[in-house]
């Protein structure tokens, strides 16, 4: 079984902002896990552009082994601004989700 993904500060108040504050805690947790995976995929895509081919191969080994913690530590070592990239992608994703939900919930005329 793969290790859990690194914790991202995707505050649970996102559900309130999306108009979904009344969903169950279990459902919120599942959605947070999905959101975290999406954010980490975006971070990895950005990071790969900044790595050499050799570093990309080394990073791929962590993914093949499903070693999320190792992949996270590798990125922190190779990219001093890794946490900044995670924060940026988290904010971007959160804003996208809130915007999409508000658009979806907007009354039709």
Domain ranges of the chain: 14-96
Within its chain, how far is the Cα of 37 from the centroid?
A: 5
Residue 8 tokens read as 């991202």
Closest CA to 46 of 94, 79, 2, 9: 79
pLDDT means per 10 residues, the chain with 109 residues, are 48 73 89 88 88 92 88 89 89 85 70
pLDDT the model gives residue 106 = 72
pLDDT the model gives residue 91 = 87
Q: What is the dihedral of CA 32, 34, 38, 40, to 10 degrees?
A: 70
Q: What is the dihedral of CA 69, 56, 93, 37, to 10 degrees?
A: -40
Residue 14 tokens read as 């996102």
Q: Is-above-0.75 flag for pTM?
A: no
pLDDT the model gives residue 109 = 64
How far apart are alpha carbons 109 and 6 in whole angstroms?
43
């Amino acid at each position: 079984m793969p290790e859990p993904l690194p914790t991202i500060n995707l505050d649970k108040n996102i559900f309130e902002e999306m108009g979904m504050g009344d969903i169950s805690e279990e459902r919120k947790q599942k959605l947070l896990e999905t959101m975290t995976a999406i954010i980490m995929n975006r971070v990895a895509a950005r990071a790969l552009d900044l790595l050499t081919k050799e570093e990309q191969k080394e990073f791929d080994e962590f993914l093949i082994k499903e070693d999320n913690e190792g992949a996270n530590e590798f990125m922190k070592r190779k990219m001093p601004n890794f946490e900044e990239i995670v924060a940026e992608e988290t904010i971007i994703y959160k804003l996208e989700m809130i915007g999409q939900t508000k658009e979806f919930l907007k009354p039709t005329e």
